[in-house]
Amino acid sequence: MRLTKASDYALVLLAHLAALSPGERASVRQIATCYGVPQRFLAVIVHRLAKTGLLHSMKGSNGGIRLARRSSEITLREVIEAVEGPIRMTDCQGPGCLCERGDHCTARHFWDVANEKILNSLNATTLEEIAGWVPWPQEEVATGERTEP
């Protein structure tokens, strides 16, 4: 299992939104500029996050994006699965697994336990915790402009 840039960018995006005042919106362009993320790729991620109910996206001159729920209610697992799909350590986990060794696989129990530990950890970590690690000063989050140190 290897996470892609999509998961990283999704966390940056959602942490940015979590740092805003309740109900406040930001634009994809603003966030892309602030963090140096490709705007088109970020727009694809926004679509996935909106489709899974993690954020609201509104078009128009007063539009923008905002969290659909409180950051304390959004887990890291939800974010990763929204952009990457189901989290599995190996291909032989989950529904529809057709392993030729079946129940006789010596490694399957180990991978199931390891995967469960990872899922528990991701379920226990919220966006609120991640948002506390936003690396840019608060005024940059508000304006969407990044200044170099």
Specify the CATH number for the domain of residue 61. 1.10.10.10
Q: Is residue 142 scored above 60 in pLDDT?
A: no
> Domain for residue 120, yes or no?
no
Of the chain, the percentage scoring pLDDT greater than 70 comes to 79
Q: Domain total for the chain?
A: 1
Give domain status of residue 148, yes or no: no
pLDDT at 149: 42
In a domain, 40, yes or no: yes
Q: Tell me: the pLDDT tens digits for 61-89? A: 888 999 999 999 999 999 999 999 988 87
Dump pLDDT digits (tens) for 102-125: 667 777 778 888 889 999 999 999
User: Contact, 125 vs 75, CB < 8 A?
Assistant: yes
Q: Where are the beta strands (DSSP E) in the chain?
A: 55-58, 64-67
In a domain, 97, yes or no: no
Structural domain contains residue 107: no
pLDDT at 70: 94
pLDDT, averaged across the chain: 85
Q: Are the C-beta atoms of 49 and 31 separated by less than 8 Å?
A: no
- Note the Cα 8 to chain centre separation in Å: 7
- Is 115 among the domain residues? no
DSSP secondary structure code for residue 54 in this structure: S
- Dist. CA 11–CA 126, nearest whole Å: 11
Q: Within a domain: residue 39? A: yes
Residue 113 lies in a domain: no
**Which has more pLDDT, 106 or 130?**
130
Residues of the domain holding 51: 5-87+127-143
Question: Residue 53, Cβ neighbours under 10 Å: how many?
Answer: 12
